[in-house]
Amino acid sequence: MLIDGENLTIEDVIKVARRKEKVEIDKKVYEKVAESRKTIEKILEKGKPIYGVNTGFGELANVRISSDKIEKLQENLIRSHACGVGEALPEEIVRAIILLRLNSLAKGFSGVRYEIIEKLAEILNKNFYPYVPSQGSVGASGDLVMLSHIALCLIGEGKAIYNGKIMPSKKIFDVLGIKPIKLKAKEGLALINGSQFMTAIACLSLYDAINLIKNAQIAGVMSLEALKGTDQAFREEISLARPYKGQIKVSKNLWKLTRNSKIILSHSRIQDAYSLRCMPQVFGAMYEALDFIKKILEIEINSATDNPLIFGNEVISGGNFHGEPIAIALDLLNIVLTKICVFSERRVARLLDEKLSELPAFLAKEPGINSGLMILQYVSASLTSENKSMAYPASVDSIPTSANQEDYQSMGSIAANKSIKILKNAEKVIAIEYIVATQALDFLDLEPSPASKKAHDFIRKYVDKIDEDRALYEEIEKISKFVHDGSILKEVEKVVGKLE
């Protein structure tokens, strides 16, 4: 994958983060990077103050640093800021962070030597996995803490993970044939000033959210059929009368998913409950939000986000490190993921309520002696409630830092960490709807649509029909993994084509 600072896509982030695709630096990057480096060196020769290069940081910006201590300043910056806490980030997130920092520096506005960019590419290509704690960023002067743990490894300090064990990074460098780098003026600051932690998580979470919402539509159609609902609310004329792109897209998906359903053809209900009838409107609104988030991320991943930045012969201090755009986008993503859960749980509740479903109570073959799938709705309700408690926007909060020099924070890092948990919960909620809808369809004599049948048959390979009560916790986890990796979606798309 060619890295040029300009053309990275979210799909590229997934390829490098999860599939470990190799990266190569575009030849045109060298000239841009070399020019900005020359500017830094020329200004230093003249003795002019440059923030974070020959001055202190944050509130200490007015403290001048002598030329013989400039390199020490960069090392001290990394060491002092590498103070994260909490569990280590998964490898895919750390790889995404490194890729995004590499792409940002490749734009040529940061004043680093080309060797820094080469080193970031090298550790990616050799699958070096820095130990990066998950907590400690306030998302404004960049994700300083997380990025500092990566930078600490580059200078041969800190820790990394190898074969599942946490070890000194220098030891793993020796194994992988990587040499530590000596930081020069500006380079420590350039490595840690940016929103790459929260943006990395946002890219991965958005990719998974798009996959999840497609799964949710399949599960929703299975529920609709099991409840003997109508497909008429999915007609394109309705959505064209309120022409949101997301709603039109969902209507097309749902129409495809319900084609040739003998269950739907056998009944003529006028209209269904909102959780069924309003799928185009609700899922459509979610698509609109996801499109907005995607637009934000596509800009962010190709941006220069450190401070100061170099333009021609000038070094200008600004605030591109501030995570506000990503913080708001992540908060919106968390709301969307939570609403997917709320929507799904209501359909599950209908399927299990004999008064609403016209099916056996809790889909048990012998209700009473068997509880059937009663408690699956409890679990879905629990996960949904947990997500609701986490969906409150993190970006509405701010706590000043650095003696009030940095007096307004984005807290996007908090939204990022929440999105990891919210997404996992949401995948389990949809897995539960898949299992419940599959059980419900088994009580009907007529064939569902080919799309629903494909999903039903796939799930039945891993979840046997529940004729007598048994523990289902392992099967919920199993189906949630298939939701996450897209296995069910791929099977259904073989029948109906790509969902939009």
> Which residues are identified as catalytic?
51
CA distance 115 to 182: 10
β 2-3/24-25 pair status: parallel
Total Cβ atoms within 10 A of residue 71? 15
Q: Which of 253, 267, 128, 111 is nearest to 189 (CA)?
A: 111
Structure tokens at 100: 């995004």
> Bridge-partner residues for 159, per DSSP?
168
Tell me phi and psi for residue 54, to 5 degrees.
-125, 25
Could you tell me whether strands 133-135 and 85-88 are parallel, antiparallel, or unpaired per DSSP bridges? antiparallel
Q: How many CB atoms lie within 10 A of CB 115?
A: 15
Look-up: residue for tokens 């064990």? 165
Among positive and negative, which fits the CA dihedral 254, 258, 263, 264? positive
Q: Is there a contact between 106 and 33 (Cβ–Cβ < 8 Å)?
A: yes
Q: Which residues of 166-193 are buried (b: 16+ CB within 10 A; e: fewer)?
A: eeebbebbeeeebeebebbbbbbbbbbb
Query: How many Å apart are CA 487 and CA 231, to the nearest integer?
Result: 25
Peptide bond into 448 cis (omega under 30): no
Give the DSSP letter of residue 367: B
Smallest CA-to-CA distance from 424 within 370, 381, 383, 461 is with 383
b/e for 352-382, b at 16 or more Cβ within 10 A?
beeeebebbbbbbbeeeebebbeebbebbbe
Count the Cβ atoms, other than its own, within 10 Å of residue 118.
16
How many CB atoms sit inside 10 A of residue 94's CB?
25
Distance CA 78, CA 21 (A): 28
Alpha-carbon distances of 120 from 75, 99, 165, rounded to whole Å: 17, 8, 22
- DSSP calls for 222-271: HHHHHTT--SGGG-HHHHHTS--HHHHHHHHHHHHHHTT-HHHHT---S-
Task: Say how many C-beta atoms besides its own lie within 10 A of residue 349's C-beta.
Answer: 16
